[in-house]
Chains A and B, each alone.
Chain A
Amino acid sequence: MWPLIRGTVSGIVGYLIGALLATVTTSSTFSGEFALVLGFAFGLMGWLFGIGMWNAWGRQWVGLPTKSEDADGWRRYFRFNTDHKVIGGQYLVTMLVVFLLAGLVAVAIRAELASPGQSFFAPDTYNKVMSMHGILMIAVAVAGILGAFGNYLVPLMIGADDMAFPRINALGFWMIPPVAVALLAAPLVGSFNAGWTSYPPLSVLNADGQVLFNVAVITFGLSSILGGLNIVATVITMRAPGMTWWKLPIFVWAAFAASILSLTVTQFFAASLIMILLDRIAGTTWFGAPGGGTALLYEHVFWFYSHPAVYIMVLPGMGVILEIIAHFSRKPLFAYKASVISFLSIGGIGSIVWAHHMFTSGMAQNLEGPFMALTELVSIPTGIIFLAAIGTLWRGKLWFQTPLLLAFFWIFQFLIGGITGIFLADFVTDLSLHDTYFVVAHFHYTIVGGSIFALMAGTFYWFPKVTGRMYNERLGKIFATWFFVFFQLTFIPLFWVGLNGMNRRVGTYQDNLGGVNRFASVMAMIMALGFVLFVVNLLWSAKRGPIAGANPWNARTLEWQVSSPPPKHNFATPPSIDGGPYDYGTVGAATHLSGATEPVG
């Protein structure tokens, strides 16, 4: 606990210094916006140095020897620990907690929407609540799979002892707590009500809480950039002998493609939020029409990140699902190379489709056709991923455990998300669907389907590896089915109310939609209740579950060839790789790890 106390104290001291500096040098008051920004910046540095960055890293900048902050036992999770498995675990637990929190906020939203009029929240409060739900869930989708499984598994799967930059890895994780503190402290200074998208002019004019939102999300972006940098560098430089590019497990490729995106385009989100801060604090006029600026600029800069961000969320999900489908079908992955090329081209094409979010924004009309065509082009590589999944399942020897069940649900969910996306990519239909609940239902199908279902599937699949114990299969299947069924019952009605003109981001709606909304609200609450099963299953099994052994799934990838949980530096001797990761049932295939016994399958 000592590093946490150290970090908290130096974080608070840093905040006070920064805020004081702002008060002294400018006309900002101590609780003014500039003081909030400078205070956060200094507080962040103070926190990071205090939690262990100073000892593990900073000391060498002044010529002192560094001291490792690593520890053993449960304590290592509360320190500046550089072991990628510890960091993966930190991400997984943090993101699941944030997910459950944001889910509770969603229940509050559905409670308000259970009846057409205003029942619990004033209009402005409603917007603050839905903004909080939005940004927390976006954070989970961005950093859930990539932060947890990306960190935990990429080094294991490629036969490395750790990430390329272990300390940058720890730094990236420990930036998250200040982000959470700033977001949760925002209600003290008026909260933020402009949605997670934070469009100006509202985001330039609203309460000071918006400033905390901006600095928090910029910091979260920096963490995401550093994480992406680390995964890219790790995959390029740290592969074990024999682990050629075409032998990488498909999840590694997916994490690699998503990491290239988060390394690059995230800077545009930072830029758009910095512009808002400059407009608010430094008196610039990027988005102020009187000075010659334009709010439209924000949408371009913002969506240049935030559309590819969808692929930062979904690509790792695809990787997890293909991984699970191959191992539970006991077959080589169908169209492996085509899937890899699809991942990379989804990232590439996905970076030039952003303006399909802006068909009703008043942007130049001659851009609408090209952006529609490019958007629909993404469905080709995405379709190849579906074909790879179905082709692998085809005549496979299916082993219906919870991960595979969730993978089936994933395919259904993402299919619905993809099909409904066509109507939104087509600007003619989008003109009437924009900003309705049709959009809300669509992106919940793609993001919950594409990212959260994969996060759940991966949590079950790798649970025995991380904890060394097996989860409860029956409880897992009940949870998975529960989540899936009540998700459909919640969100299919929302397509319908959207088609009937119910607007998003407003707490009230037309009287005639009350019945359907009440139904969706009740179903949403039952869905939320189902997560009790998830939490109970994982907590109980982590302590009491049967010992799983090194390779309960008889899978061929490298992470299953070491003990559960894996030893500190992963491999006693550096592994060397002969066969491919999915050579199930292939006659004469060498084992994946030379010297390991051929798994029974």
Chain B
Amino acid sequence: MTTSAELIEHGHGPSKQRRINQLGLWLFFASETFLFGAFISSRFATTQTETPADLNQALALGLTIVLLLSSISAYMAETANAHDDRRGFKIYTIATILLGTLFLGGVALEWTEALEYFPPGTIYGTAFFSLVGLHAFHVLTGLIALLVILFLGKEGRFGSKDSWPVEGVIKYWHFVDLAWVIIYPTLYLF
């Protein structure tokens, strides 16, 4: 969210600025939780727990596994960066980006099927496309942020001395994963 420039603006130490940034990010997550919460509760309010038989359960399970794996690789990238392991940071960030892209590809595949079985004009389709779309948009923004830190981190800019940008982006990625962990049972497992 914010990095070294605000350090200079405020003139207080890096550890305090890091604490402020962390708090800000968690407040942002709290806010986002309400956005997801609005759509998740609307899914139950309109369709209760209805789940069409045409749902591609195998694909959804696969996507969930891919996204959870990406959280592990994201964690490895963050740790590598904190230990000034530039090569590890690069490899695991790329791995996370690839897994995230795979997830989005899977969602696209799933949508082509879903358009046939439960189009947006049906009420389950409405909930399905809105929720998955909202989440996919977040995955997309997470991917862009990962690309930014990968590009900037190539010159060893972050490391243990300025790890907040990496930490912030990876925390966001975990948050987006966690959102899927709630959305997946909401849409598929009833």
Q: Is the CB of A165 within 8 A of B38?
A: no
Asked if residues A63 and B157 are in contact (CB atoms below 8 Å), the reply is yes
Alpha-carbon distance A300/B4, docked complex (angstroms): 42
By the criterion CB–CB under 8 Å, are B24 and A233 in contact? yes
**A264 — which chain B residues lie within 8 A by C-beta?**
30-31, 34
Contacts of A284 in B (CB 8 A): 120-121, 125-126, 129-130
B77 CB → nearest A CB, Å: 18
A267 x B9 contact (CB < 8 A): no
Partner of A297, one of B1, B3, B27, B46: B46
Q: How far is the CB of A8 from chain B (nearest CB, A)?
A: 26
Q: How far is the CA of A62 from the CA of B39 in the complex (A)?
A: 34
Measured CB to CB, the nearest residue on chain B to A161 is B10
Q: Is B109 an interface residue (CB 8 A)?
A: no
Query: A285 to B123, Cβ gap below 8 A?
Result: yes
Chain B residues in 8 Å Cβ range of A66: 5
User: Which of B28, B31, B122 is within 8 Å of A285, CB to CB?
Assistant: B122
Number of interface residues of A (CB under 8 A): 46
Residues of B within 8 A of A345 (CB): none
Contact string against B for A residues 420-444, beta-carbon threshold 8 Å, 1 for contact and 0 otherwise = 0000000000000000000000000
> Nearest-CB distance from A37 to chain B (Å)?
14
Are the CB atoms of B31 and A271 closer together than 8 Å? no
Check B3–A268 contact: CB distance below 8 A: no
A164 at the interface (CB under 8 A from B): yes
By a CB distance below 8 angstroms, the chain A residues around B113 are: none
Q: How far, in whole Å, are A64 and B137 apart by their CA atoms in the complex?
A: 27
Enumerate chain B residues within 8 angstroms of A291, measured Cβ to Cβ. Answer: 121-123, 126
Residues of A within 8 A of B11 (CB): 161
* Total number of B residues with any Cβ neighbor in A under 8 Å: 42
Q: Known: A263-B30, A267-B34, A271-B39. Is A229-B24 also a contact (CB below 8 A)?
A: yes
Which residue from B9, B27, B35, B122 sits with its C-beta under 8 Å from A271? B35
- B9 with A286: CB separation less than 8 A: no
Q: How far is the CB of A55 from chain B (nearest CB, A)?
A: 11
- The answer to whether A229 and B152 touch across the interface, beta carbons within 8 angstroms, is no
Q: Does B182 contact A (CB under 8 A)?
A: no
Chain A residue at minimum C-beta to C-beta distance from B35 = A267
B147 to chain A, nearest CB (A): 10
| In contact, A275 and B130 (Cβ under 8 angstroms) | yes
The verdict on A360 contacting chain B, using a C-beta distance below 8 Å, is: no
Residues of A within 8 A of B35 (CB): 267, 270-271
With A229-B24, A229-B27, A267-B32 known to touch, is A285 a contact of B38 (CB < 8 Å)?
no
| A-B contacts at CB below 8 angstroms, number | 119
Interface string of B161-172 (1 = CB under 8 A from A): 000000000000
Chain B residues with Cβ under 8 A from A112's Cβ?
Answer: none
Q: Mark B26-68, 1 if CB is under 8 A from A, else 0.
A: 0110111011011100100111000000000000000000000
B87 at the interface (CB under 8 A from A): no
Q: What's the minimum C-beta distance from B165 to chain A, rounded to whole angstroms?
A: 9
Q: How far is the CA of A264 from the CA of B123 in the complex (A)?
A: 27
* In the assembled complex, A71 has its CB within 8 A of some CB on chain B: no
Any chain B CB within 8 A of the CB of A31?
no
Given A166-B9, A284-B121, are A293 and B31 also a contact pair (CB < 8 Å)? no
Q: A60-B3, A237-B20, A297-B45 are in contact. Are A162 and B123 (CB under 8 A)?
A: no
In the complex, how many angstroms separate the beta carbon of A263 from the nearest chain B beta carbon? Answer: 5
Q: Write the nearest CB–CB distance from A9 to chain B, whole angstroms.
A: 25
Q: Report the separation of the CA atoms of residues A229 and B42 in the bound assembly, to the nearest whole angstrom.
A: 25
B93 to chain A, nearest CB (A): 16
* Chain B hits for A270, CB < 8 A: 35
B31 near A267: Cβ-Cβ < 8 Å: yes
CB–CB A286/B24 < 8 A: no
Please measure, in the bound complex, the distance between the C-alpha atom of A270 and the C-alpha atom of B23, giving whole angstroms: 23
- Contacts A237-B16, A285-B123 known; A162 to B10 CB distance under 8 Å? yes
Q: Are B46 and A294 in contact (CB under 8 A)?
A: yes
A residues less than 8 Å from B39 (CB atoms): 271
Interchain CB contact under 8 A, A293 and B2: no
Chain A residue at smallest Cβ distance from B155: A63
Asked if A73 is an interface residue, CB under 8 A from chain B, the answer is: no
**Docked-complex contact B34 and A282, CB < 8 angstroms:** no
B167 to chain A, nearest CB (A): 16
> Is the pair B120, A283 in contact by a Cβ cutoff of 8 Å?
yes
Interface flag for B98 (CB, 8 Å): no
The residues of A that contact B123 with a CB separation of less than 8 Å are 285, 291-293
A393 at the interface (CB under 8 A from B): no
Closest Cβ–Cβ distance, residue B46 to chain A (whole Å): 6
- B6 pairs with A166, CB closer than 8 A: yes
B129 A282 Cβ-Cβ under 8 A = yes
| Residues of chain A from 37 to 63 with CB closer than 8 A to chain B in the complex | 57, 60-63
> Does B117 interact with chain A (Cβ within 8 Å)?
no
CB distance from A538 to the nearest CB of B (A): 31
B83 at the binding interface (Cβ < 8 Å): no
A residues less than 8 Å from B122 (CB atoms)? 285, 291-292
Considering the complex, which residues of chain A in the window 506-526 have a beta carbon less than 8 Å from any beta carbon of chain B? none
Which residues of the partner chain B approach A267 to less than 8 Å between Cβ atoms? 31-32, 34-35, 37-38
Residues of A in contact with B (beta carbons under 8 Å apart): 57, 60-63, 66, 82, 161-162, 164-168, 225, 229, 232-233, 236-238, 263-268, 270-272, 274-275, 278, 282-286, 291-294, 297, 300-301, 304
Which residues of chain B have a CB within 8 Å of any CB of chain A? Answer: 1-6, 9-11, 16, 19-20, 23-24, 27-28, 30-32, 34-35, 37-39, 42, 45-47, 119-123, 125-126, 129-130, 148, 151-152, 155, 157
Could you pull out 13 A-B pairs where Cβ atoms are within 8 angstroms? A62-B148, A62-B151, A165-B1, A167-B2, A168-B2, A233-B27, A236-B23, A264-B34, A266-B34, A278-B130, A284-B125, A285-B122, A301-B38
